[in-house]
Structure 1
């Protein structure tokens, strides 16, 4: 195994879990693997594909993540890789489908996989492995409900004797059961890596008002070291905090889904290249961002679920060095969390009107969910499903409140939510040790390139001589 790892991918040793997953896949087993962010999940399907000498299909949730993974593989020397997604023009798509057998690794989205010509072409290939990335999206109880992921089950059922690899960083046992059921996994090998990372420390701070939180963020960022990410639920708040930091000469940018795609790509590239020290973002930022030296993740408001929170906090400390995830709290946060958790769910009236064919103003997620329900279930079944979803969301909200108000160890609570135990005894969280906040007190940031210190007019003058 080590010989093949070195030969095909250039690595000398496996990270925890990688070898076990690859060996199970080579034996033809279905595999469900929970590996923390930054633990090299992609190596599992890359090495398996190389050793099988057969095509690997990777179903990925985000176009930007898909493109990033393709670019990363090309940099590694894996050239026969393609992203089959909506970025392609009609002509490019047809050409790609005609040449699909030439590729070792094919990335696509669950939505693209529903298209007849794509499904037909894939059945003609010698596929040796089907990988479902970010597999928590499959779950009806998961925190990123995607109906087209649920439709995968029907297609996968027709793909006989092809092992399935489901990958995720965070999932509860309930979500894992849902993944196995929807994907029709047969006695899968399950690998659960311990989520407790000794280099990631947790801190919680209470304030009287949201304005106090923002003032604290400004002072804290001025005094401590980055790079870092500040998560906030509001697009308006991302812009506000980013401007505050820019006013005190911190290289920061706002990132949210309301920005144009090329703007988001530019901001992400600048952050990775150390041209930006801080990103102030909604939950739209982070998936697929390969930046190992993130020292801080600050949540201006708690995420709507602990799965969300751990996914975002886990983007720090991928280099194995100490980092701190800081949670800011204030009265009224409970209502914000409740709104975030339930906002995109359709209401009972929406379900009734949709099934009756009446015109409605719906969010993109509400429309996706209702369209799927209408295609699969009767009205009564949809109402029952809505009740179940609300119950699950409320359970997730109560779990976040436990972290907000606990007097016990944050790490113990977080790990127990995912059915795991605390491993680290020292500097686990600010509730157990005041020393956690001392880990990041000294501001150490490399000087930015000289051109980044100029304003846009000066930069243009310099470029145009």
Structure 2
């Protein structure tokens, strides 16, 4: 299509040229091809489906896992003058959802979570529309071998068929070769064009700093926050600790900060997100609930106060730094007691045996499973959201939901045994990924090379000017207070010498 793509890029987004990899992806989508693309965090993945969606006839369906990500992208597009875009999610009332569903054909781009998309009343509306593109963002969520497996993603293959089998774009920033293969299989992209770009971000320097204990780590965190060029992000595993560290930073530094986690109301999360994006906050202390798809190019550092359960999450999170191309820092703080935290996160991800057996027993005895939802599992049985999502998926998988006759042919003990085997299998994968993360933290040798090895990639011969602590480098702008005082003293002495005093 010659220069027309560049003209459209300029018209809709104001850019003179595409970033690396974007044009080929957009071209293939516009021509009706399926595409699998792995682009590093911050490389402009969203434009790869937004531009062809605006150029093609019909409505593009964008599957996105995070509500904050959807709202952020909708607001950005509307600010750019693109009004025919909407998102349907749990931020809306039932009446608002019904109204948006009626208006779907009048939009060029529609953002949906996989949980919303797989609801029958939504699917039946999409079936009668001209769907121009089916884009799956964060596509690694479809793979049980990936770091953020979401059971509803597994239904996307059948969803795509029901809405007319439109061209599919699967996008991710972090996927090992095994996960890449699983994405292609689950979405039935056997004839897709593949674009695999290196995950390395040379402008992000990698550092691991080891501490003797929690007090030592908190003290050093404050020094790093005060001295590293911001704005910045601090990742913490628990909500309570995120709030505590935000308070500590407010008390001990000159930085403005807030905490962000899944326990906040939707309104508070959106407010804090907008404050950070508009630079009203210098630092955000957050759990993994924050960051995916957040378009803030000037983040100078990402600190992990505790390490995540896998390297894929780590790479995705540090990739939020330095999107403007400037030198930035990834800093991982480690202390001896940290090892218990990721293991606890893995254990808490799955429902305990006594919980799901009790729920199954009650459901089967009362023959109440035909229409049960995830929300009912949470409200009626008090299950956590991740536990309810896991159990609901397997109830549907075993055809207990939507097939009342199956209730008399399935034994609770047998279903429980199969669920237990699934949980054991998932935990085995998770702990293997955790060991890989911990090996990277403690092994000797270039940290960048160690990360790239996980993705079957090799180091660029031209090494970054500031690579990692194992290569003998220090973070830029990381001067401690003690070093600053020493530097001032040395300059005072030098000045006295020059003036013969």
TM-score in terms of structure 1 length: 0.90
> What SS does structure 1 have at the residue aligned with 2:345?
helix
> What SS does structure 2 have at the residue aligned with 1:99?
helix
Q: Map 1:381-400 to 2 at 5 A.
A: 381-400=418-437
Q: Map 1:426-437 to 2 at 5 A.
A: 426=464, 427-434=466-473, 436-437=474-475
CA apart distance, 1:115: 2.1
Q: Which residue of structure 1 lines up, in the alignment, with residue 388 of structure 2?
A: 367
> What SS does structure 2 have at the residue aligned with 1:332?
helix
Q: Which residue of structure 2 lines up, in the alignment, with residue 281 of structure 1?
A: 286
Give the 3 Å change call, closer, same or farther, for CA 8–247 of structure 1 in structure 2.
Answer: closer
8 Å Cα contact 1:139-1:175 kept in structure 2: yes
Q: Distance in 2 between matches of 1:90 and 1:264?
A: 21
Match of 1:417 among 429, 451, 454: 454
Q: Distance in 1 between matches of 2:279 and 2:104?
A: 37
> What SS does structure 1 have at the residue aligned with 2:470?
coil
Larger radius of gyration between Structure 1 and Structure 2: 2
Q: Which residue of structure 1 lines up, in the alignment, with residue 47 of structure 2?
A: 43
Q: Distance in 1 between matches of 2:141 and 2:45?
A: 16
Q: Which residue of structure 1 lines up, in the alignment, with residue 240 of structure 2?
A: 236
> What SS does structure 1 have at the residue aligned with 2:189?
coil
CA apart distance, 1:361: 5.5
Q: Which residue of structure 2 lines up, in the alignment, with residue 438 of structure 1?
A: 476
Q: Which residue of structure 1 lines up, in the alignment, with residue 57 of structure 2?
A: 53
CA apart distance, 1:353: 4.4
8 Å Cα contact 1:56-1:104 kept in structure 2: yes
Task: Name the stretch that deviates more: 333-342 or 61-70.
Answer: 333-342
Q: Which residue of structure 1 lines up, in the alignment, with residue 338 of structure 2?
A: 333
Q: Which residue of structure 1 lines up, in the alignment, with residue 347 of structure 2?
A: 342
8 Å Cα contact 2:127-2:164 kept in structure 1: no
Q: Which residue of structure 2 lines up, in the alignment, with residue 452 of structure 1?
A: none
TM-score in terms of structure 2 length: 0.84
Q: Distance in 2 between matches of 1:432 and 1:273?
A: 35
> What SS does structure 2 have at the residue aligned with 1:203?
strand
Q: Map 1:213-362 to 2 at 5 A.
A: 213-248=217-252, 249-357=254-362, 362=383
CA apart distance, 1:362: 3.4
Which structure 1 segments of 5+ residues have no match? Answer: 444-465
Q: How many residues align?
A: 442
> What SS does structure 1 have at the residue aligned with 2:114?
coil
8 Å Cα contact 1:344-1:363 kept in structure 2: no
8 Å Cα contact 2:126-2:163 kept in structure 1: no
Give the CA RMSD over aligned residues: 2.1
For residues 232-272 of structure 1, give each alpha carbon's deviation from its aligned partner in whole angstroms, at most 9, with x where no partner exists: 11222112211121113321112212222222222221212
Give the 3 Å change call, closer, same or farther, for CA 226–343 of structure 1 in structure 2.
Answer: same
Q: Map 1:1-16 to 2 at 5 A.
A: 1-16=5-20
Q: Which residue of structure 2 lines up, in the alignment, with residue 449 of structure 1?
A: none
CA apart distance, 1:310: 0.9
8 Å Cα contact 1:251-1:277 kept in structure 2: yes
Match of 2:175 among 158, 171, 174: 171
Q: Distance in 1 between matches of 2:241 and 2:152?
A: 31
Task: Name the stretch that deviates more: 154-163 or 206-215.
Answer: 154-163
8 Å Cα contact 1:351-1:383 kept in structure 2: no
> What SS does structure 2 have at the residue aligned with 1:297?
strand
Match of 2:188 among 166, 184, 188: 184
> What SS does structure 2 have at the residue aligned with 1:421?
coil
